[in-house]
Amino acid sequence: MNEKDYYVDIVGKIGSMALIRREDEDIDYNIFARLGSELRPGMIWVSSGATEIGRLDYIKRHGCEPEGDLEEIKSDYAAQGQAILMENYRRFINPAYSVRQLLVEHTHFNDPVKREYIRKFLMRAASQGAVPIVNYNDPVSFEENRRMELSALRSRNSQVVECIDNDETAGIIALIVKARRLVILTSVEGIYRDADDPSTLVETITGPDADTVEERIRALQRCCRGASRAGAGGAFAKLAYVLGPVRHGTAVYIGHARHHISDILEGRAACTRIGIGL
């Protein structure tokens, strides 16, 4: 694709555990500050973290976790964490820019009308000097209901978006806005052939055409196992979710959240780069 074929320069995503100081069980404000210094209009940011941040905030205030149905508790945490998540993005993003929250669900991307409405919302943000922060709407999308909705969708359409993992959300958004680059920030340096051996970091997955790149991604998936938290898909899922954008010409960068986005994009920080003809 030529430069003029891309509508958005960067879609980015950060994982839940990359926003947390695990040793202190607290928010990593340095990460928010680093992101805030770089996020600007023309970028679309997908942020996990609401549920985990809400959990930490609840424990800090009440000294324990609540009892009850786990799905309901997860919804409660997410609702509590959303406010804190957005408070921190607003605090650290340049005050000259507007900050807008967009909560999405799988049904939005599986409905052509809603999908187009989201695309237009995201495209308007750039022209209006706003940074959109996107997250999955966990408080109103509980597992049992979600499974029923997805089952009904699959009976009518084999291509169904789930968006249970924000890596998928970021990949779908990169597709619908025709992003030039997709940046996924996590708590590791990228994709490893052996998750226990940092020296096996895969720096580049590329090829002359989409089919070759997909073949190499599929081969690497066989090495992937584990995830940073329960319920996350880990490296295997990340590679699956970036396939669509890569096939449509988007360059993907998977790297550690401790690095500046600009350092990852300009080759000054270790990461995994995925794309055609890199």
**Which CATH number belongs to the domain containing residue 136 in this structure?**
3.40.1160.10
Average predicted confidence (pLDDT) for the chain: 88
Q: Above 60 in pLDDT, residue 96?
A: yes
64-79 residue pLDDT tens: 999 998 888 988 999 9
Q: What was the pLDDT predicted at 232?
A: 46
Mean pLDDT of 6-34: 92
Q: What is the pLDDT of residues 215-268, one digit of tens each?
A: 999 999 888 765 444 444 578 889 999 999 999 999 999 999 999 999 999 999
Return the pLDDT at 137: 81
pLDDT at 73 (0 to 100): 92
Mean pLDDT calculated for residue range 265-277: 97
The structure tokens 């990949």 sit at: 171
Residues spanned by the domain of 188: 3-276
Average of pLDDT values for 83-107?
A: 94
In the chain the first and final C-alpha atoms are separated, in Å, by: 13
pLDDT tens profile 113-150:
999 999 999 999 999 999 999 998 877 765 555 555 55
Local confidence band at 156 (pLDDT 50, 70, 90 cut-offs): low
Q: How far is CA 83 from CA 54, 73, 88, 141, 163, in A?
A: 9, 16, 9, 18, 21
Residue 97 has pLDDT above 50, yes or no: yes
How much of the chain, in percent, has pLDDT values that exceed 90?
69
Task: Evaluate whether 208 touches 215 at the Cβ level (below 8 Å).
Answer: no
Q: Give residues with Cβ within 8 angstroms of 265, minimum separation 6.
A: 10, 181, 183, 253
pLDDT at 162: 66
Residue 147's pLDDT is 58
Res 224: pLDDT = 79
The total number of structural domains in the chain stands at 1
